[in-house]
Amino acid sequence: MTDHPRVQKKMTDPRQRERLGIAPSLILAVLLALGVCALLFWHHVEHRSTLQESVDALDHLRQAQTELAKGFLHWSLADDSESPFDRAGGLALMRQAIGDFEDSLERLYPDPQPERGRFRHDAQAFGQVLDEWTRADAPDTRQLVELRILYGELERQADRLDREARHRIRLLAIRTDRNFALTLGGSALAFLFTTALLILALRRQRSALIAREQARTELDRSEGRFEATFEQAAMGLAMVSPDGRFLRINERLCEILGYDRRDLLGKTFQEITHAEDLDTDLAQVQRLLDGKIDRYGMEKRYLRGDGGYLWASLTVSLVRQADGEPEYFIAAIEDMSARKSMEEALRESEGRLRLFIEHAPSALAMFDREMRYLCASRRWRDDFGLGEQDLLGRSHYEIFPEIPERWKAVHRRGMAGEVLHADEDWFRRMDGRIQWQRWEVRPWFGADGSVGGIVTFAEDISARKEAEIALSDSRERLRTIVRSIPDLVWLKDPEGVFIICNARFEKLFGAPEEEIVGKTDYDFVDPELADFFRAKDLAAIASGGPSINEEEVTFASDGHSELLQVIKTPLYSSDGSLIGVLGIARDITRIMRTEQELEHHRHHLEEMVEERTRELIQARAEAERLASVKSEFLANMSHEIRTPMNAVLGLAYLLERQTLPEEAREFARKIQHSGRILLGIINDILDFSRIESGRIEIEHAPFRLSEVLDTLATLMTSSAESKHIDLAIRPPDGLDPVLLGDPLRLGQILINLTGNAIKFTEEGRVEVRIEPLEHTPTRIGLRFSVRDTGIGIDAQTQTRLFQAFTQADASTTRRFGGSGLGLAICRRLTELMGSSLELDSAPGKGSTFWLDLTFDLAEPESEPRPSEGPKRPPDPERIEAPSPLDRAVSEEAREDRQPPRLAGLRLLVVDDCEINREVAHQIFADEGAEVHLLADGHEAVDWLTAHPDAVDMVLMDVHMPLMDGLTATRLIRRRPSLLRIPIVALTADALSPQKNAALDAGMDAFLSKPFDIPETIELIRRLTGSAPDPETHGMDQRDPSKEHRQA
């Protein structure tokens, strides 16, 4: 129906549309008025109904009150015999009246009220009294009085409730009338307000209809203009569907792309877009569809209708429907082929210009108006120290942030069109050097004639300027030097004209330098003397080298005479041309006198030196004698202490093995303990003496760290257990390389530090930790640390702790004992190994000693076998106390004596000390050996010669009075029948090279007195072949703390 022209005309008539829009509004207003009237009527009827119910309830209440009074009257008059009333009827009437009264109250007061509660309570009390009075055979007067009182109370409450009900009904009537008036007034106001709003809405609707009609008219006009603009636009325009199809295009777009309108409308923009630009275009389209951007622009290539491509500038926006869904794209396309060609030509031109500038032989740079680099030559980069950094687009002031303001002023003037230049100027390069240059700044102009920037030309003249400055400085230095020389100095040109002279020369002629320069000798002295001077000048020039002569002259300044030694030297320039003659004259008058005096003093000094030399030779000889005496004294003292100490400890060992009372055994143990303490102190003194005299050398032998740590554990475990201290030794995880170093000295350091830690720790733990620091295929660094929870050391004591004979204080020595040399020895040994011993401690918090050592790693073939001991002989100059194994022997011997370990062996002990022979005999015989004793080396040689098969081993003392052990060994080794007998050296000597001498003499091993008895027995068994191989027996031949090793 809407297709009919009249219907369409009616629908398009504004007045008709207005009427159609007003009619629903009028209907709505009438319905609203009817609804208000209905609401008022319902409200009035509802309130009237409520009021009527209250009036009815009040009537029932009054009737119930009357019935109650009537019933009480019947009950009261029933006592008279002539009364027509009876009590039962009166009671029934009162009960009925009370029930009706309560029903009326419930209708008046639907909600629970105090009035209803009080009446019900009193009614119940009245009823109870009635029941009691009725049941009683002879009601008394009290019950009758109580009944009358309760009835009077019910009457009063009924009157009160009646009054309240009447008041309530009046209030309800007033409230009903007032609410009706308010509702009526409010409804009238609401109706008027709604009518006003309706009229306003109708007017606004009419205005909106008129505005829409005008907008439609304007839209029609705008569409006409858009149509004309779209078709006549100077650029190509197109409306494109979301899937890329052309919906509408103008003629200009067809011309740009070279397509017929019909052909182009049948295509999509994807079909005519260059393949290399399509992905970028589609990505932008997707962002537009996703709402991430409102529009986008890009330069892209289109496929023309003739098969070629053209560059175009594309701008695209999206038109959406009212619900936000994409409707179509609007695309504006502008042909930029000509501009692209111009840009390409411009780029080529700029490229050629940039290539020219970059390879220009001088420093050139081109800047825009913001002083950003457009191009710069290689020479510019080199001169200004810019290297290969990217300059294009970067500000000159960014690269040189500290550029002086005067340069910025030059740039601003260049930007203003001025041409500026300077033949000589300087600036500071990026590397801090000063560079001199000649520069010129010119503006360059754009196509519109305005200044586009500046071009700067700079020529490095630093070399020339530096040469000039150097020359000037050289001349000034030469002048300063010449004038500061105390001798007479002058310089003449080849013609004899003075060029320069110093102050001393001025005194000769009695004139200042300004008056002398430019003149000759003839201007100041007699012609005869001037001729002499000139002849000497010419002689020096002729010889080409310096000439020396003596001249006696008189100074014009004060008339005194001097004997001068004059040296004249010709000077030449770099090209070989003669500059002039340099003259230097020195007063030798005093020199001559001084030489004579010096000759006299020289003879005197020679005599004094000869005398002092003789004194020094004597002093050195005395010092060497004293050192020898000291060494001999220490050696004798060591021998004298060791020899009886060997006997004491040996006898104590034997005594402890005897069946003795416990007190006697304790005495024997204390003897051994005291002896070990004494030996430790002597050992420290001997080590310190050897270190001080430089007689200790650090070896470079292969060893395993695990062997050193095993020995440490063996020695320290029992000491820690005796004090109930936890001892933990932590080697490096997964590492046990073969090291090249000195295991003996390393073990000595660790034993000393661990022993100190145990000594000064009352409770807690001692931890020895080895940590790798660095590890290469050929070297490894290790940190050795010993940490305890002992008494700690304060900072002041730490500064002197490593000094010899030093402990924390005197009380420490009294409490813990010791010589105070252990740490000094450890530090000196550590320094000999190329490291330092460090300490971290605090009182009450324990101490940590550590050192870092670097070891070379041994080659696999040099790895020590367990059966091998150290490659060097044992050290006889170090006394070792018996080990824990030695201490354990006595206890084991008492509890369960072992079987003889030397059973069947035949031993020869040669010692000049009778007690030592007895001790050795007792110990070895107790172990089952057959022991022969001799007191002298000569006796040993004769006895062995006579009995070559009588013994399996010889233990030979080194020092004996008639024939020492070394001489005896040499004689024994000369006899073929005695070559295979093992000979072990015994010595109590210290600070002597006995070990090397013993090995050179042919001895097999070396023992230092006093012996470690258990290991001495093991050594005897091993050398005689009666002990298992250490590899299976478990003996550690690399124990750095034991000095009796197999050589």
Residues 186-228: tens digit of each pLDDT: 777 777 777 787 788 778 877 888 888 887 887 777 777 777 7
Residue 897 — very low, low, confident or very high, per pLDDT cuts 50/70/90? low
- Radius of gyration, alpha carbons of the chain: 66
Distance CA 796, CA 311 (A): 88
What contacts 572, CB < 8 A, 6 or more positions away?
Answer: 578, 579
Per-residue pLDDT tens over the stretch 670-718: 777 677 767 766 766 766 666 666 667 788 889 999 999 998 888 888 8
What contacts 178, CB < 8 A, 6 or more positions away?
Answer: none
Residue 415: both structure tokens together: 């930007």
Per-residue pLDDT tens over the stretch 78-88: 666 666 766 67
Give the chain's length: 1047
Residue 873 — very low, low, confident or very high, per pLDDT cuts 50/70/90? very low
pLDDT higher than 90, residue 771: yes
**Cα angle value 762/764/766 (rounded, 5°):** 95
Distance CA 215, CA 221 (A): 10
923 neighbors 653 (Cβ within 8 angstroms): yes
Distance CA 955, CA 1016 (A): 11
Tell me which H or E stretch contains 848: strand 847-857
Q: Which of 286-295, 503-512, 981-990 has the lowest mean pLDDT?
A: 981-990
Residue 558: both structure tokens together: 């004060």
Instruction: Please tell me the pTM assigned to this model.
Output: 0.35
pLDDT higher than 70, residue 29: no
What contacts 40, CB < 8 A, 6 or more positions away?
Answer: 180, 183, 184, 187
Distance CA 311, CA 341 (A): 10
Look at the alpha carbons of 910, 914, 916, 920 in this order and tell me if their dihedral is positive or negative: positive
Beta bridge partners of 422: 439
What contacts 88, CB < 8 A, 6 or more positions away?
Answer: none
Domains defined for the chain, CATH in brackets: 25-204 (1.20.120.230), 234-335 (3.30.450.20), 353-467 (3.30.450.20), 474-592 (3.30.450.20), 697-857 (3.30.565.10), 906-1024 (3.40.50.2300)
Residue 168: both structure tokens together: 């309530």
* Burial per residue of 142-151, b for 16 or more beta-carbon CB atoms within 10 angstroms, e otherwise: eeeebbeebb
**Cα angle value 488/494/497 (rounded, 5°):** 55
332 neighbors 269 (Cβ within 8 angstroms): no
Distance CA 429, CA 439 (A): 15
pLDDT higher than 80, residue 365: yes
**Nearest in space to 1038 (alpha carbons), one of 754, 746, 727:** 746
Distance CA 1003, CA 983 (A): 5
DSSP type of residue 614: H
* pLDDT, average across residues 130-150: 67
Residue 24: both structure tokens together: 């629903």
Strand ranges of the sheet holding 930-934, from the earlier edge strand across to the other edge? 930-934, 906-910, 953-957, 983-987, 1005-1008
Per-residue pLDDT tens over the stretch 775-809: 888 999 999 999 999 888 888 777 767 765 555 45
Where residue 1025 falls (left for φ over 0; alpha for ψ -120 to 50; beta otherwise) is left
Q: Are strands 847-857 and 363-368 parallel, antiparallel or unpaired?
A: unpaired
Higher pLDDT, 4 or 730: 730
The percent of residues in the chain predicted with pLDDT above 70, rounded, is 78
